[in-house]
Chain A
Amino acid sequence: MASTETETRQSYLVFACGSSWYAVPAECAAEVVSFPELTRVPGAPGHLLGVFAHRGEVIPVVDMSTLVSGESEPTRRAVLVRLTRGTLALTASRVAGVSQVDGRLEPLGANGVHLHLRGPARSAQRDVAVIDPEGLFDHLSQGS
């Protein structure tokens, strides 16, 4: 119990895609970008919208709304999440900023992407799903 409460005292970048709010550890959130027209990738799943070049790196863009709820949310903004294995862009229709998150970090589901979303948690009176970036990366890698 104590460990989960301590973990939620980290700083997170809080953003929304559609009606859902997400929190990603601030140390992984490199920047918020407006991305250009994307290049679609053959054979990619529907939640992988395409790629764009950013500072010499090819960045895949993941539609969080399609990934989590199956419903697309058109936006041209994304949060760049930088991991040692690579960078991915998570679509964001709104960005609330960096804040702390209160709550627990239990998986919100037993399988699929929900296994890598943690909660129940709240930030600035919003319900947020805390993203486990490494787990999400693994999930997306297997799904593509």
Chain B
Amino acid sequence: MATGSRSITGMLLCRAGHDRVAFSAHEVATIESPSTFGGRAGSACQAFGVCTGSERILVAASGEAVGVDALEIDSEPLALLPAPALLERVAGGSLRGFVQVRGALWPLMSLVHFGRFLAPSAREAA
């Protein structure tokens, strides 16, 4: 089985409750707080079956947004492992692969597509 990986630089490593998600920094236009964010964002926690308030809102240039509990910026080159074919449709097809940081895997999500995937939940919560 081919397991080729490529390198990716500039990541936002985020916490969503006890779980982890990562986003490519170039996809994030602004990082806002819930009090200043004028739009509506789903929380990444919802995709793990729990629902908590978000501390930070990651906003894409096109307006899609995802809330997370905490984040750190990693500027080191990281190996991007391909997502298994079985997971192609998970979270609305927003899974881009996995990065391995300090021995742990982080799901790398498309901010735009993950934001759209979470958006209906955000509407229901409103």
B-binding residues in A (CB < 8 A): 39-44, 48, 51-53, 55-60, 82, 85-88, 137, 140-142, 144
For B20, B86, B97, B98, the residue with the greatest tally of chain A CB atoms inside 10 Å of its CB is B86
Q: Which residues of B contact A (CB under 8 A)?
A: 1, 3, 5, 16, 19-21, 44, 47-48, 81-92, 94-95, 97-98, 100, 104-107, 109, 114, 117
A51 surroundings in chain B (CB, below 8 A)? 84, 87, 98, 105
A41 pairs with B85, CB closer than 8 A: no
Bound together, the chains give a CA A52 to CA B86 distance in angstroms of 14
Query: B1 and A57: CB pair below 8 A?
Result: yes
Partner of B81 from A48, A53, A141 at Cβ < 8 Å: A53
B11 to chain A, nearest CB (A): 15
**A86 CA to B83 CA, complexed, in Å:** 10
Instruction: Please name the residue on chain B nearest to A59 by beta carbon.
Output: B84
Q: A53-B100, A55-B3, A56-B3 are in contact. Are A39 and B106 (CB under 8 A)?
A: yes
A56-B5, A56-B81, A87-B1 in contact; A43/B86 too (CB < 8 A)? no
Known: A41-B95, A42-B44, A42-B48. Is A141-B107 also a contact (CB below 8 A)? no
B84 pairs with A86, CB closer than 8 A: yes
Of B19, B85, B98, B114, most A-chain CB atoms within 10 Å? B85
Q: Which of B47, B90, B109 contacts A144 (CB 8 A)?
A: B90
Q: Which of A42, A87, A140, A142 is the one whose CB lies under 8 Å from B114?
A: A42
Chain B residues with CB under 8 A of A57: 1, 3, 81, 84
What are 16 A-B pairs at a CB distance below 8 A?
A: A40-B48, A41-B87, A41-B91, A41-B95, A42-B16, A42-B21, A42-B44, A42-B109, A43-B92, A48-B90, A53-B105, A59-B84, A60-B86, A86-B84, A88-B86, A141-B88
Contact B98 A58, beta carbon cutoff 8 Å: yes
CB-defined contacts of B47 to chain A, threshold 8 Å? 42-43
The chain B residue sitting closest to A52, CB to CB, is B105
Query: Which of A41, A48, A52, A88 contacts B107, CB < 8 Å?
Result: A41
- B16 / chain A contacts, CB cutoff of 8 Å: 42
Interface centre among A41, A44, A53 (most CB of B within 10 A): A41
Residue of A nearest to B21 (CB): A42
Which residue on A lies nearest to B20, using beta carbons?
A: A39
